[in-house]
Structure 1
Amino acid sequence: MAEHGRTWQSTANINRNSAQLQDTYFTFATRAEARPNASIEFTPDDFINDYRSKFVNATGSSFNLISGGGPKPNRIDESLGVKYYEVEYVVRTQLGFSFDSLKTLHFITTFAASKDAVNIMNCQALDDKWDEDGATLRKVAESFTVCQVCEQAVEEAIIYSKENKISSEDDLNDMIDGLCSVKKKEGRWVAHLDIVQEDAGGPLSVEKQDGLGYCRGECTIVQRACQSSLRGKEESLASMLQQDTANKKMKEKVCKKICEKKRPKIADWKDEPFEPRDPKEVETQDMMAKMKAETGMSMKMYSREELERMTDGDMETMAAREAGHPNLVVGIGWTFFGKF
């Protein structure tokens, strides 16, 4: 499993270098390893022992196992002959060249051992943010599937490229770079998706809602599922879009391996209600982004409710921050400040 350990470091580095999300430590990644008789012979103990020997106190590093290990799986999918093992642990390790780069990371790693392979999902966050991020990452580990999100991402890439007449290789690659980011117009579809569980204890699925929703825990799961499913396939997708390949063929090419996995049943799922955003808020936000791109002016947007709660002192302080006399611009149901 030493080779497996090195593989994880490489995969984690890919996630940390992503510029799409602000918290670069809050990531997940998936991979598969060929291993004959894995469903019979595999246990996570080799992985655990490898990490125990790798993260030792002599280097300022440490490994703390919270749960997992041993031959007994957490759950079994009898229909597929797959055994699932979950390991939760905390690693303190140096992520740079100086001693002050030591970070403490909290992980959940899920192994799915089948007849001839082990599929692995690795989820991580900073340990001091685990109370905030852990629940989201645990949902990712439990769901262990990104098939629907992958197919939806391909569908959205097709729609967006056609509606915006994007056809050159460079422009298509730029579009795909932003396809999984809710902050980009091409990635805004992510905020339309809601993770649902039709039957208690059953598998999870995603449903597309009519309006945009606020991007919270479930939206974050979808963004990372999108990133994971498209990683390494960006150029292939751009090429197929440029050649106007049939929709079905594109989805099969990009998502086939991911979609071969059966969705597991999830116990104790706590749903996050889908909360739609006010279309006027989105419209005003787009207008502000356009003005910033054209003028370089940075603005802050406030809702009417927020302005009504402000005192005269709040308004004066806000104006002083603008280092001048700000003009007050009233949008459609929204107000924002900026210097012109």
Structure 2
Amino acid sequence: MRALAVLTLAAAAIPLNAQFGMPPKPKSDPVKGDLAAIKCGVCQGLAEHLYEKVAEMREAAPFGKVHEDDISTVIEGACDPATKEGRWITEYDIVEEGGYLELKKQDSFSHCKEECETIAKSCTVLVDDELDVEEVVVALWKNKLGLSELQKAACGEWSDRCSGKKRVKAPKDRQDYEFEPKTAKDFEVAEAMERLQNSMGGMGGPGIYGPDDLAAMDAMMSQMGDMGQDPFADDFDMGGMGGMEF
């Protein structure tokens, strides 16, 4: 019931930040100093994600046939951690080992903070400026390359991310950021938002909300319940909520 209530408030398309004076939570910035040192790892991680994703699509498709346009769609969203196609990015933690930076896959997804945004930035540059996306699409569609072969081609032939050049060391005195796993409730809110955006995003309202907005709405619902207010009552007045604190 609570999830339905939160979605209903979101669907009302009332700008939450403007209504309650809540400043938008700032998005974390990529760590520019790490970008050069993670280039190879990001390319290999992207290739692994695309290989596994297309394999799943092939298993689910009639007669195992996957359309090239569907593969293109996967690649288009693969570098955006806010989408299901780009969620793989939030599984990785950037760690320093032996003076170099490694991408270590974790057992859970994380909140997308500085290191996640750094991986996303590197991935975006790779897809937009370095790879021939059509070449990648065709290779995945033909399904003649194994994972290691795809990684070698994408990162050593179609781009120079993992070529024989001298490996870049980690910046001196770099700051490491904690990997913050998502909770079950985090996933519930994120998936509810994604369903809402998919079904109503074209109407102009729900697309303005992010996971933090919906979490705030959930907190708002709790406070309203404690105050004996029903947001779905016919005589409910949104204007009476201006003094609520979040």
Measured after TM superposition, the shift of residue 285 of structure 1 is: 2.0
Measured after TM superposition, the shift of residue 251 of structure 1 is: 1.2
1:245 and 1:237 mapped to 2: Cα distance?
12
1:177 and 1:324 mapped to 2: Cα distance?
45
1:23 aligns to what?
none
Greater percentage in strand: 1
Query: Which structure carries more relative contact order (alpha carbon 8 Å, separation 6+)?
Result: 2
Measured after TM superposition, the shift of residue 306 of structure 1 is: 3.5
Measured after TM superposition, the shift of residue 287 of structure 1 is: 3.0
Number of matched pairs: 187
1:236 aligns to what?
135
Per-residue Cα deviation, 1:278-298 (whole angstroms, up to 9, x for no partner):
133213421332244235573
2:214 aligns to what?
301
2:46 and 2:193 mapped to 1: Cα distance?
26
Q: Does 1:136 align with 2:36?
A: no
2:52 and 2:171 mapped to 1: Cα distance?
32
Q: 1:212 to 1:171 in 2, by over 3 A?
A: same
Q: Does 1:223 align with 2:146?
A: no
| Structure 1 contact 204–266 (Cα < 8 Å) conserved | no
Measured after TM superposition, the shift of residue 319 of structure 1 is: 5.3
Q: Does 1:271 align with 2:170?
A: no
| Structure 1 contact 230–254 (Cα < 8 Å) conserved | no
1:292 and 1:259 mapped to 2: Cα distance?
37
Q: 1:175 to 1:309 in 2, by over 3 A?
A: same
2:54 aligns to what?
161
| Structure 1 contact 190–223 (Cα < 8 Å) conserved | yes
1:177 to 71, 76, 79: 76
Per-residue Cα deviation, 1:160-202 (whole angstroms, up to 9, x for no partner):
1222347211111111010111011111000111100134xx1
2:235 and 2:34 mapped to 1: Cα distance?
47
2:86 aligns to what?
187
Measured after TM superposition, the shift of residue 145 of structure 1 is: 4.0
Measured after TM superposition, the shift of residue 265 of structure 1 is: 4.2
1:325-340 residue pairs with structure 2 within 5 A?
Answer: none
1:150 and 1:324 mapped to 2: Cα distance?
55
SS at the partner of 1:190?
Answer: helix
SS at the partner of 1:211?
Answer: coil
1:47 aligns to what?
none
2:102 aligns to what?
205
Measured after TM superposition, the shift of residue 254 of structure 1 is: 1.0
2:4 aligns to what?
none
Larger CA deviation: 245-254 vs 149-158: 245-254
Measured after TM superposition, the shift of residue 153 of structure 1 is: 0.3
SS at the partner of 1:280?
Answer: helix
Aligned CA-pair RMSD = 3.4
2:162 aligns to what?
259
1:315 and 1:215 mapped to 2: Cα distance?
36
Q: Which runs of 5+ in 1 are unaligned?
A: 1-131, 327-340
1:155 and 1:286 mapped to 2: Cα distance?
24
Sequence identity (%): 24
SS at the partner of 2:100?
Answer: coil
2:236 and 2:68 mapped to 1: Cα distance?
45
| Structure 2 contact 37–170 (Cα < 8 Å) conserved | no
Q: Amino acid of the residue matched to residue 217 of structure 1?
A: E
| Structure 2 contact 34–170 (Cα < 8 Å) conserved | no
1:319 and 1:157 mapped to 2: Cα distance?
44
Q: Amino acid of the residue matched to residue 289 of structure 1?
A: E
Per-residue Cα deviation, 1:235-275 (whole angstroms, up to 9, x for no partner):
11111110012222211111012112313243101100100
1:101-140 residue pairs with structure 2 within 5 A?
Answer: 133=29, 136-140=31-35
1:181 and 1:307 mapped to 2: Cα distance?
29
1:180 and 1:324 mapped to 2: Cα distance?
45
Q: 1:236 to 1:324 in 2, by over 3 A?
A: farther
Greater percentage in helix: 2
| Structure 1 contact 146–225 (Cα < 8 Å) conserved | yes
Q: 1:177 to 1:304 in 2, by over 3 A?
A: closer
Q: Amino acid of the residue matched to residue 227 of structure 1?
A: T
2:95 aligns to what?
196
1:233 and 1:279 mapped to 2: Cα distance?
38
